[in-house]
Structure 1
C-alpha cells in the first residue's frame, strides 16, 4: 500500500506560512513540494528536475521563508540571507509575487526585493541598502550590484537558489555566475531547480552543490515520443468552433490545453464562444502587457483556467499579413 502524502501542516512550518498557503488554496503539496521541502528544511543541498507548472517555485520558497523566520527568533541584525538567481526579469517578477504571497502574514519579518528589471543600478541601490532578507535577480544584475558594493553577501548569505538552471548558460550567464561565486561565503545551502538535466546543469551541480539530494520527478510524468499521437481533422471553416466545443465536451481533449489560432480577434471570438457553454478560457498574445501575460500564466498554472488560446506569433510579426486581413474583412462587409 502506498504511503500517504505528507501534508503542509506536517512539515513543521510556521503558522503564518501555513495560513498563507491556505489562502492560496493549496490543500496539499505537489510531488516536488512534498519531496523537496522536508529535505530543504533539514539543510540539504538539492538538485531537482521538475517540469514548469509543477510547483517548484514554492518548493524552494517555502523552506527559504521558514528558515528566515526561524532565524528571526534570535536577536540578529537585518541582512540578506537568501539569493534567488533567475534567467529573465519576467521569471524574477513571478518569483517575487510568489514570495510576497507566501509572506503575506509575515511581511515585516521577511522582506523580498526583485532587482532583475532593467532599472539603473543606482536606482536600485536604496532598495538593497535596506538589506532585504531575500534578493531575486539575474546573475549579471546581482554581479553589477556586488561590484558596486550595493550588495554584500560574503558574511550573511545562508541560502542560494538557481531557478530554471538549464536556461542560465543558454542565456549567456556562465561568466557572470562564475564571477558572482567569488563574492559568496564558503558555506551556504544551495538549490538547483531545472526542467532538464543538461550538461550545463551538471556543470552547475559540481560548481554549487555539496553532496546534494537529486530529485528526478519529471521522467515518470511525461510520455516519450513513442507514446505521443498526432491527429488531423478536416472540416469547414464555419464548423471549427463547434468541433472544438465537441472535442472538449466529449472529453476527447482534456487537461491543460494550449490552442493556437491564426488571428488575434479570432482568439477572443473563440474564448467568447466557449464561455457560452461554461468552458472558461484565457487569451494570450503579444499585445497584452507583460504583467498581464505573467498573471495569465500564473492563473493557468494554478488551475483557474485549463485552456489558453494563443495567437500565432508569425502573423503578429508580419504587418503585411495583418493589413491584408483587415482589408479583406472590409471588403466582405461592403458586399
Structure 2
C-alpha cells in the first residue's frame, strides 16, 4: 500500500517522498481514504502510530483546493489538542506538508495580542488548545462561522481538562455542515458519548484495542518502598547514560525535586511541568531532542506532546491515578518502529493503581524486582493504608525537601 493508493494527489505524495515517507501506517491506511471522501472519522489507535498525518493529510488535501483565501479572522479548518506541546507538534507536521496554506498556532503561555494579530489576517488551519481558543472567542478575535473541518486530537486526554464544557461553547460557532474527525488512544464511555453528539455517521477506525500498549515496549515493574525509589532510579539510569530517558512524576513539585536530585547525581537532566513557563518547557524539550539533556522529568503534561523517536526508556517513578495515562506515558518510547523499555515503580499504596493499569492492558506487567506487596496483586481490598516492613540497613537517604 502506498500513499497514492490512498487517493492522495501526486503533488502531496511527491512531498511525502521528499520527507522520507513512502508507506502509510495502518491508521493512515484506514482513515485517509474515508476522510478524503468527506466522511466523519472516529479513529482509535495507540500513541506513536501516525495519527497526526492520518487527519493532517486529508485536511491539507481538501483545503489546498480552496480558491478563496480565508477572510479576516476566519478559519477554514480547526484542530483542537489538549496540550501546548502536542499542538506545537501538530503544527510542525502540517507545516511540513504544505507551503500554500496559512497555519496558525494559538496556545496558552504565549502573547495573546500576537495571536490576535495573526488571526486578523485569516487562517486556513488553526491549531489550538481549548482554553486559549475560548479566550480569543471572548475577544471576538476569531470567526469560526466558516469552519468546515473540525479535528479533535487526543480526545480522551482532553476530557481531563474540562473539554466537554469547552466543546459546548466552541461547536455551536462552527458551520453545521462540516466534516469532523476525532482521534483518541483509548475509548472510554465519554468518548463514545462525544462521538454520538458531535460526529455524523462516523466511520470507526480502530488499529489496536483501547488501552493496548505499543507492541515493542518491554514493560516491567519494581516493587519498592518510597525511600528506595530514588536510589533505584539512579542505578537503572546509570546503566544507559547515553540513552534518552523520560521519567514521569505525579506532581509538579515532585518532578522538580527529582530533577535536581538527578543533576546532583551527575545526570544531564531537565524538567517540564505546569509550573514552568512555555519558554522553559520549549527549551527543555529542545535540549532533550538535541541530546544535551539525557533525562527529562515530567508530569503528565508531557505524555502526549513529545514525539522524539529515540527515547529508549520511560520510567513511571510514580504510577498515574488514571490507568489510561500509563498507556500514553509509555507510548513516548518505541516510536517510529523502534523498540523501547517502560519501567514502573510500585509502592504499597500504589497497588490499586497497578491493578487498574493491568486491567486496562489486559495483561500482567512483568516483575523485575521485589515482591508484590502482601503477595496479593489479585485482592480487591485497598492497600493504601498498609505500610511495608522496612529494613533500616538497606534504606537509602530520603529525597531532599
Alpha-carbon distance between aligned partners in 2 of 1:229 and 1:77, rounded to the nearest angstrom: 49
Quick check: 1:78 aligned with 2:70? yes
Cα displacement (A) at 1:177 = 1.1
Q: Does residue 35 of structure 2 align to residue 35 of structure 1?
A: no
Q: Secondary structure at the match of 1:124?
A: helix
| In structure 1, C-alpha distance between the alignment counterparts of 2:318 and 2:119, rounded to whole Å | 38
TM-score by length of 1: 0.69
Specify which of 107, 114, 119 is matched with residue 110 of structure 2: 119
**CA spacing shift, 1:82–1:229, aligned 2, 3 Å:** closer
Cα drift, residue 190 of structure 1? 0.3
Superposed CA deviations along residues 85-140 of structure 1, whole A, max 9, x for unmatched, are 1112221111111111222xxx2x21110011333543321110111100011222
Q: Deviations over 1:204-250 (max 9, x none)?
A: 112210000011212199379xxx974769xxx9xx679957xxxxx
The separation in 2 between residues aligned to 1:37 and 1:139, in whole angstroms, is 25
Q: After TM superposition, give the deviation of residue 21 of structure 1 in Å.
A: 2.0
Partners of 1:125 and 1:257 in 2: CA distance: 38
Once the 2 structures are TM-superposed, how far is the Cα of residue 307 of structure 1 from its aligned partner?
0.9
Asked if the contact 1:140/1:176 (under 8 Å) is kept, the reply is: yes
1:307 aligns to 2:302 (yes or no): no
2:15 is aligned to 20
Judging by fraction of residues, say which structure has more helix.
Answer: 1
Please point out which of 264, 267, 284 is paired with 2:262. Answer: 264
1:274 alignment partner in structure 2? none
Instruction: Please give the residue correspondences for 1:237-256 in structure 2 after superposition, counting only pairs within 5 Å.
Output: 244=239
Residue number in structure 2 paired with 1:209: 199
Deviations 1:7-40 (A, max 9, x none): 1132332444324322432231111111111111
Secondary structure of the corresponding residue to residue 176 of structure 2:
coil
Query: Secondary structure of the residue that 2:186 maps to in structure 1?
Result: coil
Task: Return the alpha-carbon distance in structure 2 between the equivalents of residues 299 and 25 of structure 1.
Answer: 22
| Count of residues in Structure 1 that have an aligned counterpart in Structure 2 | 278
User: Quick one: distance in 2 between partners of 1:123 and 1:150?
Assistant: 11
Q: In the alignment, which residue of structure 2 is the partner of 1:280?
A: none
Instruction: Tell me the secondary structure at the aligned position of residue 81 of structure 1.
Output: strand
Partner of 1:64: 59
Between the aligned partners of 1:137 and 1:147, the Cα distance in structure 2 is: 15
Distance 1:299 1:115, change over 3 A: closer
Distance 2:35 2:60 in 1: 11
- Residue 167 (structure 2) aligns with: 177
What's 2:334 paired with?
none
**1:293 offset after TM fit, Å?**
5.0
* 1:296-335 matched pairs, under 5 angstroms: 296=289, 301=307, 303=309, 305-308=310-313, 312=317, 321-322=399-400
Structure with greater strand share of residues: 2
How far is 1:264 from its partner?
Answer: 2.4
Relative to structure 2, which stretch is displaced further, 23-32 or 202-211?
23-32
Contact preservation (8 Å) 1:264, 1:311: no
Q: Distance in 2 between matches of 1:243 and 1:93?
A: 32
After superposition, the Cα gap between the structure-2 partners of 1:15 and 1:293, relative to the gap in structure 1 and judged at 3 Å, is: farther
Equivalence map 1:132-281=2 (5 Å):
132-154=123-145, 156-219=146-209, 222=212, 230=220, 244=239, 263-265=261-263
Shift of 1:66: 0.6
Residues 82, 158 of structure 1: 8 Å contact kept: yes
Greater shift, 118-127 or 174-183, is seen at: 118-127
The secondary structure found in structure 2 opposite 1:32 is helix
Contact 1:257 1:306 in 2 (8 A): yes
Within 1, Cα distance between the matches of 2:169 and 2:82? 16
- Contact preservation (8 Å) 1:112, 1:135: yes
Q: Distance in 2 between matches of 1:84 and 1:168?
A: 13
